[in-house]
Amino acid sequence: MQIGIIGAGMAGLSCAEVLVQAEHGVTLFDKARGPGGRMATRRMETVQGEAAFDHGAQYFTVREEAFADVVGGWERTGHAARWPAAGPEAWVGVPGMNSVIRKMADRLDVQFGALVTGMDASRQGWTIHMGPGRAGPFDALILAIPAEQAATLLSLHDFELARVALRARSQPCWTGMFAFADRLDSPDAPIRDCGDISWAVRNRDKPGRSGPESWVVQAQPQWTHAHLEKPADEVSGLLLGLLGSALGKQLPDPIGAAAHRWRFAMSSGTGDEALWNEHTLLGACGDWLIGPRVECAWLSGRAMADKVLASHGGADG
């Protein structure tokens, strides 16, 4: 089959790997400019050179044997490393969190900068719309995007799948990124659940990082809700103040600063692994179905691929 996947984060890429291995044709579409999703690494030019920030997922854990095998491969190729300071199960991509996503995407047909605005079904298959353009037809279509976005696209084509997506609700997160001329006097361990900060860390404290003194500050969900629609510049200043309070000092002016709003940062899961309508060949996967971990996204993508293969088989199916 020819299969389209909307979303090229961990879930979409994990699903695509299995389907391609089964000799199906797969094309992924993602609105971002490059690989990462919530495992993105943001880069910023400063007077001291380029600063890097893991501004989405800070690390990932490994519990399932199948995922452990994959992560072991990433470690052997230098794309992942353990990070003991965050916990005995913590791993990070090297030299950035997006390294493992980039490794996966490099072997697949991914179209970045593709903002999908709608989709249609006909006798020829599924067609997706991207502004003035379109792609397809595809025999099957899979949505590997946050529940809130999936619900909008699913609602006109499959009420049952849309209803599951509507049940899932994600917590938002404002994230601040700050580069400084000099190293801040601070603990090497991450700051967790300190007032309105849920997490703050020096990016260089992770394995394989270099560059200027760079900090990532992530706000608690309640704080984010209260400031959700404020301008990014204003939020950046507020988050810098929170970091100063957490460190107990007046911080110097940063040489680079930015804030990013993750509207769909954390989901508690719905109890499903993946959603699939074998009659219309429409499905959905993502961590919002299992739980708020990178591994959950990987598992959901694999479960999605298994459902497709169970109903339509591999190249000879």
d(CA 31, CA 33): 7
pLDDT at 189: 82
pLDDT in tens, the chain (317 residues): 999 999 999 999 999 999 999 999 999 999 988 887 888 899 999 999 999 999 999 999 999 999 999 999 999 999 999 999 998 899 999 999 999 999 999 999 999 999 999 999 999 999 999 978 899 899 999 999 999 999 999 999 999 999 999 988 889 999 999 999 999 988 878 999 999 999 999 999 999 999 999 999 999 999 999 999 999 999 999 999 999 999 999 999 999 999 999 988 888 788 899 999 999 999 999 999 999 899 999 999 999 999 999 987 654 44
Report H helices in 29-156.
65-76, 99-106, 147-154
Give me the sign of the Cα torsion angle 109, 111, 117, 122.
negative
Place of tokens 């988050």: 239
